[in-house]
């Protein structure tokens, strides 16, 4: 059985989702357009932005590249 996640993990996931959303909007892209750039469905982008799931490191690297932002900007 897995231990439950510490309380800060869902909060950080939500913060990362908000950073992705903000960077995407600043870049003038829709979720569909970002999804096309990173090879993911727009529903996946929505799930990340709404903290329902978390992108893995590879996805974060792809998103940062697609949006032209440093990876650190997404995970601050």
Give the domains, in start order, of the chain with CATH numbers. Answer: 8-75 (1.10.260.40)
pLDDT at 4 (0 to 100): 85
Q: Provide the pLDDT for residue 1.
A: 60
DSSP output for 6-61: PTHHHHHHHHHHHHHHHHHHHTT--HHHHHHHHT--HHHHHHHHTTSS---HHHHH
Per-residue pLDDT of the chain (76 residues; tens, 9 = 90+): 667 889 999 999 999 999 999 999 999 999 999 999 999 999 999 999 999 999 999 999 999 999 999 999 999 8
Report pTM: 0.91
Distance CA 49, CA 55 (A): 10
């Amino acid at each position: 059985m897995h231990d439950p996640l510490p309380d800060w993990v869902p909060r950080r996931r939500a913060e990362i989702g908000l950073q992705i959303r903000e960077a995407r909007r600043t870049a003038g892209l829709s979720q569909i357009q970002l999804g096309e750039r990173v090879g993911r469905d727009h529903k996946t982008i929505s799930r990340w932005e709404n903290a329902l799931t978390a992108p893995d490191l590879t996805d974060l690297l792809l998103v940062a590249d697609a949006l032209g932002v440093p990876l650190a900007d997404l995970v601050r």
